[in-house]
Chains A and B, each alone.
Chain A
Amino acid sequence: MLAHTSAFWVPKRGSSLQEYEDAFWIGPNGDAEGEIRQSSLTVAVADGASESLLAGRWARRLVALIGTAKGATHTKRGFAAAYREAASGWDEEVAKYTAAREARDAPIQWYEEPGLARGAHATILAVEFSDARQDRSPMWKAVGVGDSCLFQIRDESLYASFPMTDASAFSYQPPLLASRGADDNVLRRHIGLATNDWERGDGFYLATDALSAWFLRTIEAEGRPWEPLRDLDTMDAKSDFAGWVDEQRDLGEMHDDDTTLVRIDMC
């Protein structure tokens, strides 16, 4: 396949770049922005929950493990195995963080201990694109927990939307993946899977919740949300991503939250 990928991100207002707690991964090494020629491509976005500690680290860990685990986007079992691997290394990650804090003479405080014990939480969406094989069209397979979304645009209309399809369904309490592990039954109930074909000319938009909700609301109002997103980083762009998001926040069209977009144009 030949694809062109671009990533855009901006923290919520008043937060520094270091406080951004979303994460994204564009395979095979996480940083494949630009023109890509390969037989398969995995892309993931995750949204670390604001109310947990080390949420950004957990989101980055999730996209890296889900983005590279074979079969994680194919079945619930494959996804659960990759998730378990991410969770099993969490204690070590926390120990490193704690040691680093000790080393700079800023030990963990009483109000951080419960949060570290409770662990971090995040939503995730991952999609794997693969080339055509024999009599089969090129396909994508996606997996998601929570309200980070994938939108597929074909011939100037929405062709697929996953896992959310209704703007009113966004809430402040989406299902989340916990760094301290989850009961198998609960996990299986919240994992969503989807698959569909793709063809040259299709555009894919992977986004965390604030942008995803805006995207669906715009479609529900008969708008074409992909147009300003498609123009980003082109000569047609009226502003950069941060400026555009700021404008939507000012208009009350988009929640003030860490906001991430990965755009994949199939060429």
Chain B
Amino acid sequence: MYSAEISRANPTIFMFLLDQSASMQDQIGSGEGQRKCDVVADALNRLLSELTIKCAKEEGVRDYFHVSVIGYGGSNVGPALGGSLAGTDLVPLSAVASSPARLVERTKKVPDGAGGLVDQEVKFPVWVDPVASGGTPMTKALSRAQSVVSGWLNEHPACFPPVVLNLTDGEANDGDPTIPAEGLRQLASADGPVLVFNLHVSSDSSSPISFPDNDAALPNQYAQTLFSMSSTLPDHMRTYAQQQGIKVSDGTRGFVFNADITSIVQFLDIGTRASDLR
């Protein structure tokens, strides 16, 4: 399981479910006044940019992955990529590369070759803008994910199993999310069941609980629910997590509670780690 080569002939999906409820306007616990929706959108744009760069070859960006970003907030559950990709459920990575909503100039510190750092202007692509409004229809979002992933698996039965990453700060207020989450995890390709990972972004400054293997240390039922909705990390992601200094076991799950800025980036990095791009 989880050993299929990922190639243009046999691509897979990264799907991001993005909480856009009103509470995402609140400040993140760890972050110098930054709103949760800004931090999450920024981390997602950065991840999409890195994924694109990783798959860029001379003749263009290779479609090892198709990407889906589904936002959920208030009465809206639907595609959340901006620009010319707006309204699209699933986008090949080459289209992600060629169609950011916009490119903004950012300053990055780079080595100056003499042991110091200098500022360098780099182009930073933006596909997802921060949105925060209404309640948290997470159950509907997971159902929508189930429908998109199911369609994909019909057409790509031998793919590396799709990875669904749910980024949220609150409890679902449209029913029990564990039911569609379980439905998602029961979908499978010949290489194994779909992977569902959950990230909880926090407004308080408690320490994050990253990639736990049991729910004993989780503070409440809400955290335990998200833990129960999360898949166990496959071998290559667990190994990578360990290399990042995270304590892992065979039962380590793709779940972070009370995430700060650093652990949001780390969650996306580990959850989208591919072992065998061809």
Contact = CB atoms under 8 A, between A and B. Distances in A.
A114 B56 CA distance: 10
B61 A111 contact: yes
A91 interface: no
A50 B56 CA distance: 10
Contact of A50 (B52, B125, B275, B277): B277
A164 to B, nearest CB: 19
Interface residues of B, number: 23
A111 B49 contact: yes
B179 interface: no
Contacts of B5: 255-256
A51 interface: yes
Interface in A49-86: 50-51, 53-54
B276 interface: yes
Contacts of B122: 113
Contacts of A113: 122-123
A257 B278 contact: yes
B32 interface: no
Contact of B53 (A19, A54, A115, A256): A115
Interface in B10-68: 49, 52-54, 56-59, 61
Contact of A19 (B52, B59, B276): B59
A54 B57 CA distance: 7
B190 interface: no
Contact of B276 (A53, A111, A115, A172): A172
Nearest to A110: B123
B103 A12 contact: no
Contact of A109 (B7, B8, B97): B97
B117 interface: no
Contacts of A255: 5
A135 B276 CA distance: 50
Contacts of A109: 56, 97-98
A110 B56 CA distance: 10
| B9, B49, B56, B275 interface centre (most CB from chain A within 10 Å) | B56
Contact of A51 (B58, B98, B277): B277
A189 interface: no
B54 A51 contact: yes
A13 B7 contact: yes
Nearest to A56: B58
B100 to A, nearest CB: 8
Contacts of B58: 53-54
B59 to A, nearest CB: 7
Interface of A: 12-14, 18-19, 50-51, 53-54, 109-115, 172, 255-257
The 3 closest A-B pairs by CB, nearest first: A14-B9, A110-B123, A111-B52
Interface of B: 5, 7-9, 49, 52-54, 56-59, 61, 97-98, 103, 122-123, 125, 275-278
29 contacts: A12-B7, A12-B278, A13-B7, A13-B9, A14-B7, A14-B9, A19-B59, A50-B277, A51-B277, A53-B56, A53-B58, A109-B56, A109-B97, A109-B98, A110-B103, A110-B123, A111-B53, A111-B56, A111-B97, A111-B125, A112-B56, A113-B122, A113-B123, A115-B53, A115-B56, A172-B276, A255-B5, A256-B278, A257-B278
Given A14-B7, A111-B53, A113-B122, 12 more contacts: A12-B7, A13-B278, A14-B8, A14-B9, A50-B277, A50-B278, A109-B97, A110-B123, A110-B125, A111-B56, A255-B5, A256-B7
